[in-house]
Amino acid sequence: MTEQGELTELLGSISSKYGYDFTEYAEASLKRRIAHFMISNRIDSIRALGEYILKEDAFFEQFVQEITVNVTEMFRDPAFYDSLRKKITERLATYPFIKVWIAGSSTGEEIYSIAILLKEEGLLERSVIYATDINQKALQTAKEGIYSFANMKSHTTNYIKSGGRHSFSDYYTAKYGGVLVDRSLRQNIVFSAHNLAVDKSFNEFQLILCRNVLIYFNQNLQNKVLNLFYESLCPFGFLALGNKESLLFTDRREMFEEVDKKERIFIKTG
The CATH number given to whatever domain includes residue 211 is: 3.40.50.150
CA dist 260 and 240 (Å) reads: 9
Shared-domain flag, residues 82 and 63? no
pLDDT for the residue 245: 92
Q: Residue 119's pLDDT is what? A: 98
- Mean pLDDT is lowest, of 17-21, 84-88, 131-135, 147-151, for 17-21
CA–CA separation, 174 vs 180, rounded Å? 6
Whole-number Å distance between alpha carbons of 195 and 133:
7
Task: Mark which of 42, 67, 92 sits at the end of a domain.
Answer: 67
* DSSP codes, 164-212: --S-GGGGEEEETTEEEE-HHHHTTEEEEE--TTT----S-EEEEEE-S
- Does the pLDDT value for residue 1 go beyond 70? no
Q: Is 146 helix (H, G, I), strand (E, B) or coil?
A: strand
> Residue 178: pLDDT above 80?
yes
Beta bridge partners, 238, equal 207, 267
The residue among 37 and 237 whose pLDDT is bigger is 237
- Asked if 163 contacts 81 with a C-beta cutoff of 8 angstroms, the reply is yes
Domain boundary among 67, 89, 104: 67
How much is the pLDDT for 232? 98
Residue 2 has pLDDT above 70, yes or no: no
Q: Do 233 and 104 sit in the same domain of this protein?
A: yes
Residue 170 to residue 174: CA distance in whole angstroms: 11
* Integer Cα distance of 233 and 218 in angstroms: 23
DSSP states of 43-104: ---HHHHHHHHHH-HHHHHHHHHHHS-----TTSSHHHHHHIIIIIHHHHTTSSSEEEEEET
Kindly state whether residues 40 and 96 are assigned to the same domain: no
Maximum mean pLDDT: which of 12-16, 71-75, 131-135, 212-216: 131-135
Tens of pLDDT, residue by residue over 67-97, are 876 668 999 999 999 999 999 999 999 999 9
Q: How many structural domains are present in the chain?
A: 2
| pLDDT score recorded for residue 253 | 92
Give every CB contact of residue 255 below 8 A, 6+ residues apart in sequence: 230, 268, 269, 270
Taking residues 129-141, report their average pLDDT.
94
DSSP, collapsed to helix, strand or coil, labels residue 40 as helix
Same domain, 50 and 100: no
Give the pLDDT confidence score for residue 61 in this predicted structure.
83
Rounded to 5 degrees, φ, ψ at 194 are: -155, 130
Choosing from 21, 48, 67, the residue where a domain stops is 67
Contacts of 140 (CB under 8 A, 6+ apart): none
Q: Alpha-carbon torsion 135, 227, 86, 122, what sign?
A: negative
Q: How confident is the model at residue 156 (pLDDT cuts 50, 70, 90)?
A: very high
Domain encompassing residue 16: 3-67
